[in-house]
Structure 1
Amino acid sequence: MSLTLLKTELKSNVKMLLIFMALITLYGTVITLMFDPDIGQGMNELAKSMPELFAAFGMKDPGSTMLDFLINYLYGFILILIPFVFSILLSYTLVARYMDQGSMAYLLNTKYGRKAILQTQIVVFVLEHLILMTYTTALLLFCSTILMQESLDFWRFLYLNIDLFCLHIFLGSLCFFSACVFNEIRYSIGCGAGIGFLFLL
């Protein structure tokens, strides 16, 4: 593994990571602040009138607790889609871009071989996702307990976020593998992203 490449990649992807953190902050804060246990019944009635639409976004039942509300309205769609788009872009940045621009040859001319370079990129990939998921967990804990003063089942919430992290490592690995296998950009991005979107649909 190349520590120099690791530091370079982490620095070069900071801007993209901050953009996705901002998106999660926007959606996470707004949806958390929308929680009101009194409107649960009204939302249930609305869901009954348009069951297919609500089901498509994983919002069949708003639930009576803050955690149930977050699971249905945030974890059911938004927190799957946004980090998945991040995985697609990160796979391009870490692997497909080097292949597309022909700069992989420069990396291979260093003392590190293909295996060491890919190991480094995998570590960057996992670290970036870990940072994003840790931030998401901390943000939602802050919004629910400090801003809304609602108690969450902490361990259930933690397990939920660990599961979400594992899901994104799986979906991201499809994109990363695709970027490693194909030389052409349309295949390297298209195959991984396509399989991932089919999985989500």
Structure 2
Amino acid sequence: GVRQVQHGPDQQRGDDAQHVQQFYELLTRSMEVIRGWAQKVPGFSSLPKHDQDLLFYSSFLELFVLRLSYRSCPEEGRLVFCDGSVWPRLRCLRGFGDWVDSIFEFSSSLQRMNLDLSTFSCVCSLALLTERLGLEAPGRVEELHKRLVGCVKEVSGGRLSALLERLRELRRLCVRGLQRIFYLKLEDLVPPPAVVDKLFLDTLPF
């Protein structure tokens, strides 16, 4: 029976590693989708390459959570990812940790706003095109940001300040997401893909 005893934690470690691996794969696939989307945001692809990368990596987790929150079913306890896969809360726990519950809360509050697609698209663009440290063309980014605020004002029916508050909330939420990924990195069950690693190098706020 000794072998079985040894098998326990190893088996558990293997399962954990698989969950973490799936979590990283979700992030990586979402990155590809969101990068494709970002290229189509008016004005984004005309910015210096350095700024495009900086804006993309700085806002990636925010956009990941925003899009996830918009399409998920928080009241049913399910998250719907950009590749169409649907995960119940329990399946998310090992990778996301308690960050997942904050995402569900955010998703519920976002969905209560009943945003139509055009308002939601403007809000996503606003999360992408916002001032970040180290931009080469901060003036151009600020100009695009102002234009988007105008767009949100127009389409959101007087809910601009509520939406900006949601974005501030989102930023706080994503610091927790970074901390979670940092924890997984330290735990070292699975090495993070290079693109996920890059999130840290570019955006570590703490």
TM-score after normalising by structure 2: 0.30
Greater C-alpha radius of gyration: 1
TM-score after normalising by structure 1: 0.30
